[in-house]
């Protein structure tokens, strides 16, 4: 996307290293945005995600990639930031019905706030966020109504918004897609999903468990898309 003088418009993408955010970044680039990436080291159980985020940024040719450390472990309350066991083998109906212990309290509000700050500094009105409300774990901060409320807040909460210099927009190109549709879209745009990491509970060598919500949704998505997941799983 170009503005009046023909320069590419700046945008910020939140890059977790997972499949959804990699696809979102590829979509933003395809739409012509000059992309900067933000990843958050929040004290997640393992660092494979952040390594994946670096791989994705590099592979997509994103030149500005900030990795910010905001340690959420002292707050606890989640299987992703403390020694609580990650739930395994939940079926699709349970995922839709219960918010699991892998929910990190207010995580997406925190992450979007950080991305908003970065965007304001860069003069970027556009934020890309790879949430999905179809094949997901039922997290409340993945839903369209959350994103709409945050977009309203972004324009009230910032100097650039209040002065009218930037009209912030939160783009969630995946929000209504199934996992299979996301994978097909990313594949068409040249995303190689071996760059990404989704598992909540990998072994020490980084092999995915194949049984947490994130693995199950990913595996089902690849199966429905008729493609093979290039990520390696424990037998």
Q: What does the binding site for Zn ion look like in residue numbers (CB under 5 A)?
A: 199, 208-209, 212, 215
Q: In which region does residue 164 sit, left (phi positive, over 0), alpha (psi from -120 to 50) or beta (all else)?
A: left
Measured from the CB of residue 214, what is the shortest distance to Zn ion in angstroms? 6
Q: How far is the CB of 228 from Zn ion (least distance, A)?
A: 17
CB of 212 to Zn ion, least distance (A): 3
Three-state secondary-structure class, residue 231: coil
Taking the least distance from each CB to Zn ion, the nearer of 139 and 168 is 139
CB atoms under 10 Å from CB of 30, counted, come to 13
Q: Take residue 87 and report the two structure tokens written for it.
A: 């739930």
DSSP 96-110: HH---TTPPTTHHHH
Least spacing, CB of residue 181 vs Zn ion, in Å: 21
User: What gap in Å lies between CA 229 and CA 193, rounded to an integer?
Assistant: 7
**Nearer to Zn ion among residue 174 and residue 215 (C-beta):** 215
Smallest gap from residue 216 Cβ to Zn ion (A) = 8
**Spatial contact of 181 and 22, defined as CB atoms under 8 Å apart:** no
Cβ nearer to Zn ion, comparing 39 with 208: 208
For Zn ion, the closer of residues 141 and 201 by Cβ is 201
* CA dist., res. 160 & res. 166, Å (int): 5
Nearer to Zn ion, 108 or 137 (CB): 137
Token pair in block for residue 45: 């159980």
Count CA within 13 A, CB hemisphere, residue 211. 11
């Amino acid at each position: 996307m170009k503005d009046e003088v023909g320069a590419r418009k700046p945008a910020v993408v939140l890059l977790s290293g997972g499949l959804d955010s990699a696809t979102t970044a590829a979509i933003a680039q395809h739409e012509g945005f000059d992309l900067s990436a933000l990843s958050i080291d929040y004290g997640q159980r393992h660092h494979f995600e952040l390594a994946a985020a670096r791989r994705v940024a590099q592979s997509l040719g994103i030149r500005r990639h900030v990795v910010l450390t905001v340690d959420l472990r002292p707050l606890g309350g989640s299987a992703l930031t403390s020694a609580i066991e990650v739930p395994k083998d939940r079926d699709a109906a349970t995922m839709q019905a219960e918010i699991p212990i892998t929910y990190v309290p207010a995580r997406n509000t925190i992450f979007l706030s950080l991305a908003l700050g970065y965007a304001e500094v860069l003069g970027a009105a556009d934020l890309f966020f790879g949430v999905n409300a179809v094949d997901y774990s039922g997290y409340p901060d993945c839903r369209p109504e959350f994103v709409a409320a945050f977009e309203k807040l972004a324009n009230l909460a910032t100097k650039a918004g209040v002065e009218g210099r930037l009209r912030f927009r939160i783009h969630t190109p995946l929000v209504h897609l199934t996992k299979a549709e996301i994978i097909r879209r990313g594949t068409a745009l040249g995303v190689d999903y071996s760059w990404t990491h989704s598992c909540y509970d990998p072994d020490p060598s980084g092999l995915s468990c194949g049984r947490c919500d994130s693995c199950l949704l990913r595996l089902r998505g690849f199966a429905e898309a008729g493609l093979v997941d290039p990520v390696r799983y424990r037998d």
